[in-house]
Amino acid sequence: NRLKEGLTKAKKGITDRIDDVLKSYTKVDEELLEELEEILITADVGVNTTMNIIDSLRDKIKSKGITDPMDVRNELKIVVEELLGEENQKLDVTHSPTIILMVGVNGVGKTTTIGKLANRYKSEGKKVLLAAGDTFRAAAIEQLEVWANRSNVDIIKHQEGADPGAVIFDAVKAAKARKVDLLICDTAGRLHNKANLMNELGKVFKIVDREFPEAKKEVLLVVDATTGQNAVAQAKTFKEVADITGIVLTKLDGTAKGGVVLAVKSEVDVPVKLIGVGEKVEDLQDFDAKAFSDALFG
Ligand code: GDP
């Protein structure tokens, strides 16, 4: 399936390397655990998260009396599943109207994700409207328009350089007048520092809260999995300045370091709701912990 296909590189970078190590050992010892630790760290699982995983793995090996290295892989899969957690918090847009604010720095895949979401919900029969709130780049507005046309949904846009707040204001007005189910807003990704970020997003959020209180609000942070620990750092920063309700991890297909999902999950207390596994419209999936660890370790 698409998830497995999308995670091919990550599987090569993590599971296949783990298998190679396990095959080269005849007994389960600290040296083996150290090698696994190194693989996880280089796969962007992050040092803290890796330590936790290895500690849990060591406990499981001890309590279950595991002596065959090949049995370690299944234990690792169990530890990863436990870390990712049972409860899957899918993106829920059943309330009408719902507004989704997409935030994240330039290049992470924000526009693409908006396009994929617009397509998904339009084909489910919802009335969708897009707002081109990233007015700092003409290309961002044009690109969003391409996605809107592709999915045959309306878009509210102003000219390059316009006030993003004004775009969102108009979009909310249009959403009410046209009785849309789902308004998806792009926001500026040109964020120099925390104060600037807070200022830009703060204005937009205030308008939404004031003008569209009847809408259920989702704030999705998009981060690029190929940037590894940088994605974790971005998530931490955005979380400090905005009430992020979910994380979208894009480009998981483009990295051998799929471990970043584990790092985001354990180091940033916000659910990963969606993952991007390709550039095409169908390459957006609800994050499912079990399916993910199966695709990676199964
Ligand atoms: P934005 O600046 O955040 O709006 O980023 P874009 O949506 O323009 O995406 C930047 C690039 O990443 C484009 O070339 C997209 O096709 C690509 N991209 C976005 N999501 C994914 C994904 O899940 N997988 C892959 N391989 N590429 C992606």
Query: By alpha-carbon position, which residue is closest to atom 19 of ligand 1?
Result: 109
Q: Is 42 annotated as a binding residue?
A: no
Q: What is the pTM of this model?
A: 0.93
Q: What pLDDT, in 10s, does the model give residues 16-54? A: 999 999 999 999 999 999 999 999 999 999 999 999 999
Q: What is the pLDDT of residue 26?
A: 96
Question: Ligand 1, atom 6: nearest CA belongs to which residue?
Answer: 109
Element (H, E) at 230: helix 229-241
Is the pLDDT higher at 89 or at 71? 71
| Interval between CA 177 and ligand 1 midpoint (Å) | 32
Nearest CA owner, ligand 1 atom 20: 109
Each residue's pLDDT tens digit, 134-191: 998 889 999 999 999 999 999 999 999 999 999 999 999 999 999 999 999 999 887 6
Residue pLDDT, tens place only, 119-143: 999 999 999 999 999 998 889 999 9
What DSSP state is assigned to residue 27?
Answer: S
| ipTM of the complex in this document | 0.99
